[in-house]
Amino acid sequence: MTHCISFLRSPLWLLSLTLGFVLRLTNPAFASTPTAPVSPPKPCGAPEHRQLDFWLGHWDVRWTTRSGAIGTGTNVITPEHGGCVVQEAFNGGPSTGGLIGHSVSVYQPASGQWRQTWVDNQGGYFALVGTREAGRLVLVARGDSDAKPEQRMVFDDITPKSLTWRWQRSADAGKTWADQWVIFYTRRSEASASTDPTAASAMADKLLGAVGGRAAWAAARNTVNDSQQFRAEAPVEARAVISLDFMQPRWRIDTTAPGLTLTRVVDGVRNWRRTREGQIAPITPTTLREDQQWYVGHVYRTISRMARNDPALELRLGSEGRLEVFEAAKRIAWFKLNAAGEPYAFAGVGEGPGLVSGPWTAQEQGIRHPIWVASADGTWRSSLNRLQVNAAFADELFRQPN
């Protein structure tokens, strides 16, 4: 997942690829004239939008079951969509019958209230609304009729490292409330989160299951990614075709746009590029080093290595519930998963906030892959034209022209 390959780089262009494709241009000849940026009001920037921030993070949760046993699980809460949405991924474990649930919460300034929608793998659905007051947050779910008791959740006893969550019912239209399920939250530390191999392995299994299965990805040896790139700066559109070998460090990237044809090739220790003027030249040491980083953590290659149980990889559970992939004690990639297990955000070596992706609904030879990928700030986007898996890679594909 360093899905960013510097593709067109100064003194030419720089095309960085993530997920196999990320475009950015640095040549002054293609740079637009600088203008003073105009910053629009930041969405969801008011203090009220931060009222649920106490819940963010990776939590260990426990409760007492009706039989008197202790139930345990995990809950991962993350800010999404620029901080406008708070997303929950709950895993209740065996004592709940394998309950896995997902919720999204938003603050609505017009009403001054929070709204949350919950769904789970047991057919559960709740729509709740409420506010934070007197040091706690209360969200109420009304019954379908007056004959049904009201229900609500209460976040209480809130500290930086713990909180109490209560699911309550009322049989008298909200005059009194009785606890139905009380969950005690303990914030998981960075150290404990990153050294939990069982949880990390389970998350990797969930990811693989959501994107086509371990067997299909283990069988993937290469990909040819044909995508359409869109950028904020000119030229706003370019086509990139990336031929990437998972089994040995070699790749070829062909980029075309109106008036532009570029090629970059790395084949082990051999490398070359076709410049804008059509000349063949070596890749600069700086660019080559960045390209090699991109290859190490490329998203498809990393998923394939996880599927093959590559012994060189170590999986860890990191902050914000991320699945982190290490090699030789260095983190090479991380993934954030949605409730279905699909990666919706990821990054490779040196990719900072990483990328976000659309649904992994495109399919080829059993594997699933996203139909679009974008930078976190929205200034770059790539739409998939076609993905080939296990293509015939002839040596001529990587050979430098005479």
Report how far residue 129's alpha carbon sits from residue 139's, in angstroms, rounded to the nearest whole number: 5
Report how far residue 329's alpha carbon sits from residue 325's, in angstroms, rounded to the nearest whole number: 10
In this structure, the answer to whether residues 159 and 219 fall within a common structural domain is no
Give me the residue label for tokens 């409730």.
Answer: 339
SS3 per residue for 62-97:
EEECCCCCEEEEEEEEEEECCCCEEEEEEECCHHHC
Pick the last residue of a domain from 125, 156, 188.
Answer: 188
Report how far residue 51's alpha carbon sits from residue 74's, in angstroms, rounded to the nearest whole number: 22
Does residue 170 sit within a domain?
yes
Pick the last residue of a domain from 148, 166, 188.
Answer: 188
E-strand spans in 134-208?
136-141, 150-156, 162-170, 178-187
Q: What residues form DSSP beta bridges with 355?
A: 346, 375
Residue 142's closest CA among 124, 160, 130?
A: 130
Pick the last residue of a domain from 172, 188, 204.
Answer: 188
In this structure, the answer to whether residues 213 and 129 fall within a common structural domain is no
Residue 74's closest CA among 85, 88, 86, 64?
A: 88
CB atoms near residue 93 (< 10 Å): 14
Report how far residue 96's alpha carbon sits from residue 120's, in angstroms, rounded to the nearest whole number: 12
In this structure, the answer to whether residues 139 and 201 fall within a common structural domain is no
Residue 301's closest CA among 16, 19, 15, 10?
A: 19
Does residue 341 sit within a domain?
yes
Q: Map residue 389 onto helix, strand or coil.
A: strand
CATH code of the domain containing 128: 2.40.128.20
pLDDT tens sequence for the chain (402 residues): 334 333 333 333 333 333 333 333 333 233 333 444 555 667 898 899 999 999 998 888 999 888 777 888 889 898 888 889 999 999 888 878 889 899 999 999 999 999 999 999 899 999 999 998 888 999 999 765 555 668 999 999 999 999 999 999 998 888 899 999 999 999 876 555 555 677 888 899 999 999 999 999 999 999 999 999 998 887 789 999 999 999 999 999 999 999 899 999 999 999 999 999 999 999 999 889 889 989 999 999 999 999 999 999 999 888 777 899 999 878 899 999 998 899 999 998 867 778 999 899 999 999 999 999 998 888 899 999 999 999 999 999 999 998
In this structure, the answer to whether residues 170 and 228 fall within a common structural domain is no
Does residue 95 sit within a domain?
yes
Report how far residue 155's alpha carbon sits from residue 164's, in angstroms, rounded to the nearest whole number: 6
335 by Cβ neighbours in 10 Å (0-12 / 13-18 / 19+) ranks as buried
Strands 280-281, 313-317: pairing is unpaired
In this structure, the answer to whether residues 267 and 378 fall within a common structural domain is yes
| Helix, strand, coil percent content, the chain, rounded in steps of 5 | 15, 45, 40
Does residue 225 sit within a domain?
yes
- Provide the mean pLDDT of the chain: 84
In this structure, the answer to whether residues 387 and 320 fall within a common structural domain is yes
What is the predicted pLDDT for the residue at 237? 94
What is the predicted pLDDT for the residue at 16? 37
Q: Map residue 288 onto helix, strand or coil.
A: helix
Strands 280-281, 113-120: pairing is unpaired
In this structure, the answer to whether residues 301 and 165 fall within a common structural domain is no
Name the CA dihedral angle for 199, 203, 208, 213, rounded to a multiple of 10 degrees.
60
Report how far residue 99's alpha carbon sits from residue 327's, in angstroms, rounded to the nearest whole number: 33
Quote the domain boundaries for residue 79: 48-188
What is the predicted pLDDT for the residue at 196? 61
Q: Map residue 366 onto helix, strand or coil.
A: coil
In this structure, the answer to whether residues 299 and 170 fall within a common structural domain is no
Does residue 24 sit within a domain?
no
CATH code of the domain containing 221: 2.50.20
In this structure, the answer to whether residues 133 and 228 fall within a common structural domain is no
- For the chain, what is the domain count? 2
In this structure, the answer to whether residues 327 and 279 fall within a common structural domain is yes
Does residue 229 sit within a domain?
yes
Does residue 376 sit within a domain?
yes
In this structure, the answer to whether residues 171 and 201 fall within a common structural domain is no
